Structure 1
């Protein structure tokens, strides 16, 4: 049986909790990690975070907090490099 269709963005974000995500910032930098939590302002907490600039891995962090006003988008990631 298929999962029920998502009706709004918060349903999508709830499904991503604890899963790998890609967070793209307005500056063009990507952060990839496990979504720990987020709030209504799109402030995001990630675990096992990696920072990518122009597609190249620049730095690894344990935990990271990203302020929501810097976020361009967040997407699910099927694989983790």
Structure 2
């Protein structure tokens, strides 16, 4: 034995592939922040290759305050700043 200890493998990091992340949170509660600063929270139903997003049970927040309760919403992808799992 040479006394050399091989390093243990690094813990698995979440996939850096956005498609895998989005697939893993489909059906989950998410926050979608728009370029305008408005945020929508709801259950992610689907996302396409253009980042168009469909949410169910959606609520609209402006400056952190609930403004509207829409039910179903469709958000055009070019308006999306980020999507976050809640």
Question: Could you say which TM-score interval applies, normalised by the shorter chain?
Answer: 0.7 to 0.9
Aligned residues: 76
TM-score relative to the length of structure 2? 0.83
Runs of 4+ in 1 over 6 A off after TM superposition: none
Structure 1 segments unaligned to the other structure (5+ residues): none
Output the CA distance in 2 between the equivalents of 1:74 and 1:7.
14
Structure 1 range deviating more: 5-14 or 26-35: 5-14
Q: State whether structure 2 residue 22 is matched by structure 1 residue 17.
A: no
Partner of 2:42: 33
Q: State whether structure 2 residue 85 is matched by structure 1 residue 73.
A: no
Output the CA distance in 2 between the equivalents of 1:30 and 1:40.
21
TM-score relative to the length of structure 1? 0.88
- RMSD between superposed Cα atoms in Å: 1.5
